[in-house]
Structure 1
Amino acid sequence: MWTSGRMSNAKSWLGLGMSLYFWGLMDLTTTVLSGTPTPPCKLEALLSDKPQSHSRTKRSWVWNQFFVLEEYTGTDPLYVGKLHSDMDRGDGSIKYILSGEGAGIVFTIDDTTGDIHAIQRLDREERAQYTLRAQALDRRTGRPMEPESEFIIKIQDINDNEPKFLDGPYVATVPEMSPVGTSVIQVTATDADDPTYGNSARVVYSILQGQPYFSVDSKTGVIRTALMNMDREAKEYYEVIIQAKDMGGQLGGLAGTTTVNITLSDVNDNPPRFPQKHYQMSVLESAPVSSTVGRVFAKDLDEGINAEMKYTIVDGDGADAFDINTDPNFQVGIITVKKPLSFESKKSYTLKVEGANPHLEMRFLNLGPFQDTTTVHISVEDVDEPPIFEPGFYFVEVPEDVAIGTTIQIISAKDPDVTNNSIRYSIDRSSDPGRFFYVDITTGALMTARPLDREEFSWHNITVLAMEMNNPSQVGSVSVTIKVLDVNDNAPEFPRFYEAFVCENAKAGQLIQTVSAVDLDDPHSGQHFYYSLAPEAANNPNFTIRDNQDSVRKQYAAKCCNFLKDDFGHQFMEPIL
């Protein structure tokens, strides 16, 4: 039989121990529960209990387990328990053998006494239990005295691990002006100690830095806003330090920390404001349409879409002369020229410009209005402009027989500037290569310089120049179209020589030729010719001419032949009239 012995050393180290007897080296749990012990041997095992508080809770025991605390730091091997057979008479005839997980490396057994020791530091977080087998042999013969049996050595936890934030540091965002209690982020700390044993792994959260702006739920680790009306424009970034402490936060517990970087995101809680209530700008009167006059800017403390701006001209006498557009990149209002300007017509304008947020949040409307206005004064600056003709185009009709030097038109130009410089006139000779016309240098009187011939040039298109006397670089121009009117200065002409043939037996009144004439003139009523025989043939009794009154074709009649020739010399016959 195996008997108990040497319990006092274990009890003094553990502080609390218990002698447990179980029958045989089989599954002792089954043996005890069945209530059928199997002699003839028993094993004594010293079991270390968990550390106890003043009030002890009753629990069930698993009889085939040893318990040993982790992290022993002494110089001597750590006593775990004792195996002893009641067949052992103390004479060394029994040899105890230990095998299984960690046998000979982590755990050793005194083969004479049966004492089990740990020879390495035990860490529950690395390994929580070991399964071993024990056997008693006859030292002299090596014969097993009893069947081999299995048991477990469990490593009992101590609080040797602080809580750790595995996901830290954290980054979070919460809208500014959020109500108190708004959830920001949840942080989680883990403790490698045994959560089923005592409070070693029970974590409590607290905030070390970040008050009074934020708070943390001690149980869940949820961080919430704790201050009303946190303003991003006043402070945008917060560094919050959260602590997790085990042992339920009690004194002596281990702690770990993490950093939570919290950014307040923007909301549209700031209306735009013009830093200047009056802008002074100037623009040249020669500035082209769509050219930039200047820029205005309404400052908005918000950012992104909340700082977007829309500029409009809401009043002023310059609304029809200027326009304003919004630059989407820089959120400035660009004032541009809408129509041509004239210093002589209007020297200054006033605009009332509004800058407004197009994206509004209803809950902040009480902070508005979310627009602002400013006044823009624009001065139009004079520039030296070329002379201007009035009218801007001339059309002149003149008869072709007009006398040389006759004034056919007065050309008029003036300096649009306030200085009203004197004007000098000339003709662009490339437009009048024949030099038919002349213009008086001071009066602008356009005169003929050569005889006009409608039949040669019926139209003239000339360009008259006007130059400022004090600034020859300022030159204006105007087109003058001259129509030369026809006069009857050309006699009719026969376009060719006519030749006719007549038979000697031609009958009287027979048509022998038709003639026609042309005239280079172009009277308004059209051409009308009168035909008759020339004086030298007027007394010829053999031929007569008949005027058809059609201004084109006339007929010669004879008294004999009906053979005729056409205009191309071809002979043909025609009935005798």
Structure 2
Amino acid sequence: MRRIRMWKRAAIWLFCFSLLWHNTEAQIRYTIPEELNEGSVVGNVAKDIGLDISDIANRKLRIASDSSTQYFSVDTRTGELVVNGRIDREALCGQSGSCLMPLQIVIENPLQLHRVDIEIQDINDNAPHFPTKETILKIAENVALGARFPLESAEDLDVGKNSLSSYALSNNAVFRLNVKTLEDGKKVPELIVDKPLDREKQSMYKIILTALDGGDLVKSGTSLIQVFVQDINDNEPKFEQSQYKASVLESAQFGSNILSVKATDLDEGLNGEIRYYFGARTPDSVRKSFNINDETGEITVIGKLDYEVTKLYSFDVCAKDKGSPEQEGHSSVRLHIIDENDNVPEIILTSLPSPVSENATVGTVVALINVKDLDSGDNGKVHLNLSARLPFKLKPAFDNHYSLITDSVLDRETIAEYNIELVATDSGVPSLKTTKTINVKVLDINDNPPFFSQSSIIVYIKENSPPGASLFSVSASDIDQDKNAFLSYSILDLSSNHMPASSYFYINSENGTIYSMSSFDYEKVKRFSVAVQAKDRGSPSLSSNVTVHVFILDQNDNVPSIIYPSAVTGSVAHQRMPRSAKAGHLVTKVTAVDADSGHNAWIFYRLAEATDASLFNVNLHTGEVRTKRSVSEQDDSSQRLLIEIKDNGEPIQSTTVTVDILIEDGFHEPISDYRKIRPEADKKTGKITLYLIISLASVSLLCLMTFFILLVKCARGSSGSSSCCIKRSNYAYSNPNRNLQIQLNSDGPIKYVEVLGGDMMSQSQSFGSYLSPMSEFSDFTLVKPSSTTNFTDTLNVLDASLPDSAWTFESQQMHYPKGTRFM
């Protein structure tokens, strides 16, 4: 290649040099074979360029070249071009089909340049050769027939027919040769598998691949192909024996060697490495008692052997190689156990213990039990007993079989399950025994109804509360289990209610929360008794009830109503008085009532407007209208008073009444009783008066009876008892059996008595009386009679006069029963 580059540079230099001359002769071409001997004549160049022999020396004919190697020279005597050294076409032109060597002939005096092309023809002087003399192929023995393996191509530096022509393969019984020609004409040999391979028969093949050229004298080159047949795991391990036999004492110690198994594998490498295992279907009893060493095949004892349990162990062993896929071989092993006396009795449950219902009859079978001892003689005779006294006993059936039965009545709520220990003892010397504990569960039956912690519940709710308010949550318990203890709540209607309780209340069936379904009016209804039922889901279901007393608390939602003076005939009440009236003269008395109760029903009177405010005064508490001064002649004979009546609630409710007073001369009749009704009052006013008289008599009688009972109770009680107390300052009575209370309280100048009597759950009476120190009358005036089932119902107001000095007051503390809830 170096020479080629040199010739190329020389050709370029000569081309440039020829441009310097205007006179350039035609080209001359010679053809010679390569490898001519030195001195061989190529041609007479002087003659061919038309130069006389005599002029060769004078004109200095020479070859111009920039190459360091001169392959040719000119004989100056004859003008012949002769070979000056060895010419190797392959070195000059490589694999090129045409090989031309350009020469520049220079003649001086005058200067001329001639070109001579020498074509070097190839001769078969190179043999085909392989880049490597030895090729190694690794072919798996399970290769498919017809598989092709490309081989390394040979090279031949010659060209044309002298180049590489064909390949040949040495004789063998497995492979054949195929030559594939590529698009560029290159021939590539392929080794084809023609017969099956078997590494175990022949693991390696040596094959000679020969490359031949096409010269007249054929040259060749060879390469050794070594084919190594790679092993596949096509041979399974084989045991030396098809069955192994041995005997071992049942008392053999851990690690005792019994026997060794051995297998061989014709494969090699990992395919021939063997590991030993128990067979796939080897029982767990064998795996727990014996172990096989996976490398050596030794079988050793790893567990306790028992002749009475297993007299003979028969199992398979497996030898596996490490190939992929792995192969395995099998053999069987029979191990005979030599008996020794070492067994304890055994307790066997013929049937698992069944859960037993708590209402099961005595003698119900719970479990079937079998006992045995694998020893013989007395050592095999077994007795079975219970370790503790329980409501169960063993009933013998037949040989070594027993029934576990109930011996008394069961109660799951007392004991929910039993752990029964069975003891089996043999008759050997020394005696051996074994124990076994079985668990017997007691099944629940619905034999306990739900129960409430209280027999009744008291709940308070304000009147006018919006519907949907949560009142209270009742809760019951059931000591049964599962669905027998799953409770649901419902409301039952009581016959004592005028309307169904379910119309007013709703209960959440799951958590027992009671909600109101409507708004309540204290003045219409003061108490509801609601029966709540808790019912389980047993079969049959059981239930229990609790009564919830719902008391409506009064709110100040009623305006005071005027009773006297009556304004039936018009909007203004008319009164008369003498002009001779002095200061403090009682003109009239305004009386009003409030449908509310307690503090909401306290009435206060106030003079809002007057024709002459200096003449009249209205008592704040009694409603009495009196003169503040003597009537004079200058006073107008017609006086109009606007009196405002207010209650003590929050917010305050009020109303007004207008009283016209006619001052007359010569009118001397005093108003002896404000309860007289004017003759012109209609029948309705007379009825009201009658009702007031009847109510006054009833309440008075009840008051006298109450005071009498109070005195009797106090007389019987101890002197230091706190349940009875009579004081000038405050009077209160309480009976734990009847919950009777009498309280005297005050609100400014107003003194009032509260009498509460009766059980919580029974009919009770409550009334109140206002006592004014300013009244001139000593009789009682009924304001609002009441008889109700609620011990906190509205107080009845009685109007009476008592001396101020007769009473002093102390604060009172209210006590509410347990279970009371305010809403």
Q: Which range, TM-score by smaller chain?
A: 0.3 to 0.5
Bigger CA radius of gyration: 2
Q: State the TM-score, normalizing by the size of structure 1.
A: 0.46
More helix by share: 2
